[in-house]
Structures are given as structure tokens and as C-alpha cells.
């Protein structure tokens, strides 16, 4: 019997990061290495946005699907992290597999060296880790996976950035569906970024500076939308 997404995450935490087992003395060094790589690879806030657009372009899509990428920013704190604003990225690609999850939990996928044909679905560490510039806790909901990462070291293994944590609530699928639009079918993959307080303005500025002409340089993505979700009083 195949394991569930949650069972898979539990296995990754146990076997890869020794959570629930003996402490690994190398984890603190590894955390610092990941942190340094992040700072070196991504020097500007704008980089994360172009990476996510390129990643969506690199993703694989089911035949017959009209590839789309949607950015929605809201003042609602659906992650209950105290964030002043939250950016949600919706993409109707095939979604995360076990291999993809294990890739994004690895440091080996952190560089641009080699072939990057698969975006964050094959080389997920490339574009995804750039989001740590604007958030300290990115979330991924895809194909039954509900996980988040934290830039702060995990209390169980002293390692940040690449240790997955299962999300039981905050946000729930109901929260995500409400932000997206309850009348529309939720895309396969949603990335949720509770923004750091000093990054709200830069992120809004970068979103407003994405021009429709960017679609001319994309071969797969047919629809790119950016909108603000207004909280009802």
C-alpha cells in the first residue's frame, strides 16, 4: 500500500533529518551553509518573482490544460503567523510528486549548475528558496501535500530552510479556496508566502511592475494574472 503524503513527509523528517532519532552533529553547519548559499544566489528582492514565473514556465502540464500562473496578495493573515500581508501563487501544473518533495528538501538542488529543464518541479530548490528573501515561512499545498518550511532552525534538528513540516491548519484548504475564489476550481499547486513586514511594499511594487509583455517570452504560460484580494468587512 502506497504511503500518504503525510506519511511521506514523516519519513523524510525521520530518515533525512533524524527527527525522532539520534542528533546529527552536522546539522548546525548545514543550516549555515544553506543560509549562506541563499544570500549568495539571491541578491535582490525582485529575483524571487522572476524565478517563480520561470519555474511555472518550466513546469509540466497535463495535456489539454491551459497553463496559467496567478499571483494574489491579501492583507489577511491566513497562516496565523502575524504577517501584515500574504502572497499566494497559484499554478495549474501537474503538481508535486514524492521525488519533487525530496528534491526541495535537499541542498544539492540549491545551485544553478547543470541543466534546469524542470524548474521547481525537477530542480525545485533553484527558484523556491529565493522566496526566503520575502518570507520566513513558505507553504506549499500540492497533490495532497500540505507543508511549510522555516528559515529558523528546526527545534528538533537545528536545521532551517529545508526541513518540511506538515500543516494541520492555518491555512486550511477552505482559507485558500476563499482567497482564490470559491466559485473557481483550485489549481493543483498553491504556494503561500506570509510576507516579512519590510517586504510588503517592495513585493507590491514588483508585482505592479510585471507587464503583460512578459507573456511574449514564455512558450507555455498562456495566462498570467496579478490581483489583490480585499478582505470583506
Q: For residue 68, what are the β-bridge partners?
A: 223
Q: How many CA atoms lie within 13 Å of 227's alpha carbon, on the beta-carbon side? A: 11
**Distance between CA atoms of 215 and 31, rounded to whole angstroms?**
37
Q: Classify residue 138 by burial, with Cβ atoms within 10 Å: 0-12, 13-18, 19+.
A: buried
- DSSP state, residue 20: T
- Provide the residue ranges of all domains of the chain, joining segments of one domain with +: 47-146+169-228
**Other beta carbons less than 10 A from residue 36's beta carbon:** 10
Q: Residue-wise pLDDT tens for the chain (233 aa)?
A: 789 999 999 999 988 888 876 666 677 677 777 777 666 655 555 567 887 888 899 899 999 999 999 999 999 999 999 999 999 999 999 999 998 898 888 876 444 444 444 443 334 455 577 788 899 999 999 999 999 999 988 888 878 888 999 999 999 999 999 999 988 899 999 999 999 999 999 999 989 988 888 888 899 999 999 999 987 65
Residue corresponding to grid cell 494541520: 168
Instruction: Say if CB 116 and CB 58 are below 8 A apart.
Output: yes
Residue corresponding to grid cell 525521520: 14
Amino acid at each position: 500500500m502506497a504511503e500518504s503524503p503525510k506519511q511521506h513527509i514523516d519519513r523524510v523528517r525521520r530518515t533525512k533529518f533524524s527527527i525522532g532519532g539520534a542528533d546529527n552533529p552536522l546539522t548546525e553547519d548545514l543550516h549555515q551553509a544553506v543560509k549562506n548559499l541563499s544570500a549568495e544566489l539571491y541578491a535582490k528582492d525582485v529575483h524571487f518573482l522572476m524565478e517563480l514565473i520561470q519555474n511555472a514556465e518550466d513546469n509540466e502540464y497535463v495535456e489539454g490544460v491551459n497553463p496559467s500562473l496567478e499571483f494574489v496578495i491579501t492583507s489577511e493573515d491566513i497562516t496565523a503567523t502575524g504577517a501584515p500581508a500574504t502572497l499566494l501563487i497559484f499554478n495549474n501544473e501537474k503538481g508535486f510528486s514524492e521525488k519533487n518533495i525530496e528534491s526541495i528538501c535537499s541542498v544539492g538542488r540549491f545551485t544553478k549548475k547543470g541543466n534546469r529543464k524542470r524548474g521547481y518541479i525537477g530542480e525545485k530548490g533553484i527558484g523556491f528558496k529565493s522566496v526566503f528573501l520575502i518570507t520566513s515561512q513558505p507553504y506549499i499545498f500540492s497533490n495532497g501535500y500540505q507543508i511549510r518550511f522555516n528559515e529558523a532552525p528546526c527545534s528538533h534538528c537545528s536545521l532551517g530552510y529545508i526541513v518540511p513540516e506538515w500543516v494541520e491548519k492555518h491555512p486550511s484548504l477552505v482559507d485558500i479556496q476563499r482567497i482564490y475564489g470559491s466559485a473557481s476550481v483550485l489549481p493543483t499547486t498553491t504556494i503561500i508566502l506570509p510576507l516579512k513586514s519590510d517586504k510588503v511594499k517592495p513585493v507590491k511594487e514588483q508585482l505592479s511592475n510585471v507587464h503583460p509583455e512578459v507573456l511574449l517570452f514564455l512558450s507555455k504560460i498562456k495566462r498570467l494574472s496579478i490581483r489583490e484580494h480585499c478582505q470583506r468587512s
